[in-house]
């Protein structure tokens, strides 16, 4: 599994090849074994395959188009216009992925609602729990030589997709899964000394024990 952490890449090119049901089930099971706040497991996984993918991508493209036109009910304002090409690219990737798993935060609260402080904190905890499930699935896929792409560009069509999915709760992400024949170079990571800050040290008597 540790190997999978370093081997995983975001895959944006998928072969038109089915993922065996047993592999998919193990991936979904890995999601269920993520830690979660008070073990509430605030997730649901909706597996999209076949023609359902086309219907889903159609909704996504509609949402992106609204943002492109600067429609009043678009999710993102003009200052996010620079992200539209990336959203279009993501839609293309999702179109050719054999499996797309929508990850739902079942306890999620609508962005339309103003959250109280405790609601806000709980929302963060739930999102963290769901994110752990997503990463578990991506790692399990990697261990099975199955590529994955964690996508939040689906938010460009948040309302459209939420309605299409007909879900309770909120959409957390969509993950594309499939095989690839492309070697992807790792994206650079910040060096440890830029992201880690040590404070304090062990008592001397603990050392060498």
Binding site for ligand FMN (CB under 6 A): 9-10, 12, 90, 149-153, 187
Distance of CA 152 to the CA centre of its chain: 6
Provide the minimum distance between the beta carbon of 207 and ligand FMN in the complex, in angstroms, as a whole number. 36
Return the number of the residue (19 or 173) whose C-beta is nearest ligand FMN: 173
Provide the minimum distance between the beta carbon of 108 and ligand FMN in the complex, in angstroms, as a whole number. 15
Return the number of the residue (12 or 162) whose C-beta is nearest ligand FMN: 12
Provide the minimum distance between the beta carbon of 123 and ligand FMN in the complex, in angstroms, as a whole number. 16
DSSP type of residue 185: P
Return the number of the residue (117 or 189) whose C-beta is nearest ligand FMN: 189
Provide the minimum distance between the beta carbon of 191 and ligand FMN in the complex, in angstroms, as a whole number. 16
Return the number of the residue (22 or 183) whose C-beta is nearest ligand FMN: 183
DSSP output for 109-172? --TTSPPPHHHHHHHHHHHHHHHHHHHHHHHHHHHTT-EEEEE-GGGGGHHHHHHHHT-SSEEE
Residues 6+ apart with CB under 8 A from 29: 140
Structure tokens belonging to residue 100: 């797309």
């Amino acid at each position: 599994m540790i190997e999978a952490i370093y081997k995983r890449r975001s895959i944006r090119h998928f072969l038109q090849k089915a993922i065996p049901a047993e592999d998919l089930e193990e991936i979904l099971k890995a999601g269920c074994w993520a830690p979660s706040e008070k073990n509430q497991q605030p997730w649901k996984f909706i597996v999209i395959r076949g023609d359902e993918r086309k219907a889903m991508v159609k909704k996504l493209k509609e949402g992106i188009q609204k943002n492109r036109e600067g429609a009043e009910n678009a999710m993102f304002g003009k200052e996010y216009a620079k992200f539209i090409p990336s959203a279009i690219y993501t839609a293309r990737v999702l179109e050719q992925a054999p499996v797309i798993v929508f990850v739902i935060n079942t306890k999620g609260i609508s962005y339309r609602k103003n959250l109280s402080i405790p609601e806000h904190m709980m929302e963060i905890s739930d999102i963290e729990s769901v994110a752990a499930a997503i990463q578990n699935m991506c790692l399990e896929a990697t261990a099975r030589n199955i590529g994955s792409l964690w996508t939040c560009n689906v938010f460009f069509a948040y309302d459209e997709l939420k309605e299409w999915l007909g879900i309770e709760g909120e959409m957390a992400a969509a993950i594309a899964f499939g095989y690839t024949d492309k070697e992807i170079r790792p994206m650079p990571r910040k060096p440890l000394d830029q992201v880690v800050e040590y404070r304090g040290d062990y008592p001397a008597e603990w050392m060498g024990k």
